[in-house]
């Protein structure tokens, strides 16, 4: 077998493994997101909860990834799959639209809470993760990876 064919097969296996890892993570995250929505149907709080906890988890993940070598499927499985399925921009947008009909006060509060708490949670995750795992590498390098 030629080197080109062997390399092509390895790339397909690698892409297939990544696809499976993202799909598995996405299934778990989506089911968790659905479960969070059952806690308070029709309310905006489950969406706020999943988006803020997802931001915190992403900050922790980035710090953990920057702390050392990890299995190559961890990043896509957790960042794109699990956290991508857990967090939800579409529900955030629909919740904001629904609140707009009730007046600007609730809408602006929801937008400020979501953005402020989300950014704060991501930064908190980075700081806590750095302290937990004594990150020596730059988190900027981990963030620059294409799977995040």
pTM of the model: 0.84
pLDDT mean for each 10 residues of the chain (148 residues)? 47 78 98 96 95 98 93 95 97 95 93 98 95 76 63
CA distance 19 to 110: 34
CA distances from 139 to 63, 108, 133, 136 (A): 6, 31, 12, 9
| DSSP state for residue 80 in the 8-state scheme | I
Specify the length of the chain in residues.
148
């Amino acid at each position: 077998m030629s080197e080109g064919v062997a390399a092509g097969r390895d790339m397909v296996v690698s892409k297939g493994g990544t696809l499976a890892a993202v799909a598995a993570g996405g299934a778990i995250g989506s089911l968790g997101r659905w479960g969070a929505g059952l806690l308070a149907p029709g309310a905006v709080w489950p969406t706020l909860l999943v988006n803020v906890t997802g931001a915190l988890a992403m900050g922790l993940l980035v710090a953990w990834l920057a702390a050392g070598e990890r299995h190559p499927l961890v990043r896509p499985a957790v960042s794109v799959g699990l956290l991508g399925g857990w967090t939800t921009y579409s529900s955030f947008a629909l919740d904001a639209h629904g609140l707009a009909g009730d007046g600007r006060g609730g809408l602006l509060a929801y937008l400020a809470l979501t953005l402020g708490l989300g950014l704060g949670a991501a930064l908190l995750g980075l700081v806590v993760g750095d302290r937990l795992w004594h990150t020596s590498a730059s988190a900027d390098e981990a963030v620059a990876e294409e799977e995040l």
